[in-house]
Copies of this chain bind each other. A is one copy, B any other.
Amino acid sequence: MAQFPKPLGRLVGELSKLPGIGNKTAQRLAYYILSLPDQEAEALASSISEAKHTMHYCSVCGNLTDRDPCEICSDPSRRDDVICVVETPQDVMAMERIREYQGQYHVLNGVISPMEGIGPEDINLRSLIVRLQQHPEITEVILATNPNIEGEATAMYIARLLKPSGIRVTRIAHGLPVGGDLEYADEVTLLKAVEGRTEL
């Protein structure tokens, strides 16, 4: 049985390491890439190298950026009295999509997870404390870690850590997603939704 030629096999191998790309999809992508004009394939390859070389973590907030400080940290039109703590740069983009939040961010680039041996020292948390000490204008920290066990634990940890400073620490609300269905909501979400009910 004929095998893949080596360069093709290597390309398939590299592509299939990507999340959600199985061997079959990797083969389809590889053949597609080989069918592209030279400069288009080169554009794909160089965009990977370029992004990898130029993107780094913002020294202020920990977000992924191509400058330092990042676009958000260096934007003078944004509020500087509130920091939203998120787990990943993707979460920053999600927050930005609501087009409502105008404050700063702090990206943990991880989450406390004793199961995986990730403690508070392993995430971008120490710089948050330093930041809060250096910027007394910050009056609120919004904890927007994910609503799962690790995210909750991390939020609790940070809340306890910041308690002595007297800064207002808030947690984004748990509840039913808009457009969701009460009947199909899981018990914990529904419980949280009831607990977090607001006056109308």
Contacts and interface: CB of A to CB of B under 8 A. Distances in A.
A40 B52 CA distance: 10
Interface of A: 1-8, 10-11, 13-15, 17-21, 25, 27-34, 36, 38, 40-52, 54-55, 64-67, 70-72, 75, 88-90, 92-93, 96-97, 99
A3 B71 contact: yes
Main secondary structure of the interface of A (DSSP, over half): helix
Given A3-B71, A45-B45, A96-B2, A34 B10 contact: no
Nearest to A5: B66
Given A6-B66, A29-B18, A49 B55 contact: no
8 contacts: A8-B55, A10-B50, A10-B51, A11-B48, A15-B44, A18-B29, A31-B88, A36-B52
Q: What are the 3 A-B residue pairs with the smallest beta carbon separation, nearest first?
A: A45-B48, A11-B51, A5-B66
Contacts of A48: 11, 14, 33, 41, 44-45, 48
Contacts of A18: 29, 32-33, 44
A2 B72 contact: yes
